Amino acid sequence: MEPKDYKSDQYVRWCPGCGDHAALNCLHKAMARLDVPPHQMAVISGIGCSSRLPYYMNSYGFHTIHGRGAAIATGVKTARPDLSVWLVTGDGDCLAIGGNHFIHAVRRNVDINIALFNNRIYGLTKGQYSPTSARGFVSKSSPYGTVEDPFVPAELTLGARGTFFARALDVDLPNLTDVFEISARHKGASVVEVLVNCVIFNNGTHSALTDREYRADRTVFLRHGEKILFGKNNERGIVLNGLKLKAVTIGQDGYTLDDILVHDAHETDNTLHLMLAMMGTGTSLLPVAMGVIRDVAAPTYDESVHAQIAEVQAKKPERTLRDMLLAGEKWEIV
């Protein structure tokens, strides 16, 4: 398969410069690598700029209602476990009205791939603050600044006992494509937070991370089994200092390469994964973690449901709905 095999003939109706364009491009490339035919894929979405994406896929798709994409995707995967099911959603659609569906899809470990486009704004409805907007953020719906603390998608995912979480930048196309591919190969609910730019209503919201001049010092890309290094020359790294993470420079203050943590995405205990995912948030001066932060094997909801059905059917003689209805107490009126 090639990326063009997954592209529809529809005109892409996103604003020029929107980060969703890059995410769509990476998604097409990742799907080609997976080599799953388009007719064996279903792309589900809710409402929002990101939720236009099913129109741009040459696959089955369902543009559903606001916040309900996760519920629909759960139903699709449970009914058709043979399909590769993707949920494309945004920070407003997923974490506000859709928050309850999101956490339960993650908790149940439904085998769906969740692409969460986070631009920290409601773009489709023209610029209201979202659940990921920072405290004090001035918008059309918060003219004097928000008085709320934002959700951190990683924290919410791991709090819901998520088995997979990754994060990537819209401008980092090679790594974003890799992350999408790895997430699709994960058995269970995979969440990929894509930090995208809304050029119209929240331009530059991730510029502190995407700017080429600072990116190497302000982000760290995690790879399973490798040292957690960052900096333009990988001269810095992350160590565990008591119960906290600390950024150090190799060769200074007695720190050597041996002191740097090795990333283990497959560790079942999510304590360190949460610490890594929360770097760079709030008042933390640590770099923001990108790449696959958590990737742990666990039973999936859809497989467990079908296994349970098969087990019950093997023990009961009824094979049809009519058999079941006639299996109970019954009498005949003469």
Rounded to an integer, the average pLDDT of 161-181 is 98
**Which pLDDT belongs to residue 321?**
83
| pLDDT reading at 334 higher than 90 | no
CA angle 288, 73, 110 (to 5 degrees): 65
Q: Are 237 and 230 spatial neighbours (Cβ–Cβ below 8 Å)?
A: yes
How buried is residue 320: exposed, middle or buried, by Cβ count under 10 Å (0-12/13-18/19+)? exposed
Exposure b/e, 227-261, CB count within 10 A at least 16 = b: bbbbeeeeebbbeeeeeebebbebeeeebeeeebb
Residue 165: Cβ within 10 Å count = 32
Q: Tell me phi and psi for residue 109, to 5 degrees.
A: 60, 50
Rounded to an integer, the average pLDDT of 283-310 is 95
* pTM exceeds 0.75, yes or no: yes
Q: What is the DSSP letter of 262?
A: B
Question: From CA 272, how far away is CA 293, in angstroms rounded?
Answer: 9
- Which of 101, 53, 44, 97 lies closest to 73 in space, CA to CA? 44
Average pLDDT, the chain: 96
**Which pLDDT belongs to residue 326?**
79
Question: From CA 271, how far away is CA 22, in angstroms rounded?
Answer: 32
Question: From CA 86, how far away is CA 208, in angstroms rounded?
Answer: 29
| pLDDT reading at 189 higher than 90 | yes
| pLDDT reading at 317 higher than 80 | no
Rounded to an integer, the average pLDDT of 319-323 is 81
**Which pLDDT belongs to residue 282?**
79
Digit-coded pLDDT (tens) for 210-243: 999 999 999 999 999 999 999 999 999 999 999 9
- Which of 90, 139, 80 lies closest to 114 in space, CA to CA? 90
pLDDT above 70 as % of the chain: 100
**Which pLDDT belongs to residue 40?**
98
Tokens 């236009």: give the residue.
Answer: 52
For the ranges 30-44, 161-175, 217-231, 304-318, the lowest mean pLDDT is seen at 304-318
SS3 160: coil
- Which of 44, 54, 63 lies closest to 6 in space, CA to CA? 54
Helix-strand-coil split of the chain, %, nearest 5: 35, 20, 45
Digit-coded pLDDT (tens) for 102-155: 999 999 999 999 999 999 999 999 999 999 999 999 999 999 999 999 999 999
Q: Are 196 and 18 spatial neighbours (Cβ–Cβ below 8 Å)?
A: yes
Q: Tell me phi and psi for residue 99, to 5 degrees.
A: -60, -40
Rounded to an integer, the average pLDDT of 258-274 is 98
Question: From CA 65, how far away is CA 74, in angstroms rounded?
Answer: 14
CA distances from 79 to 74, 83, 102, 154 (A): 9, 9, 19, 28
**Which pLDDT belongs to residue 319?**
75
| pLDDT reading at 163 higher than 80 | yes
Question: From CA 120, how far away is CA 129, in angstroms rounded?
Answer: 7
**Which pLDDT belongs to residue 329?**
82
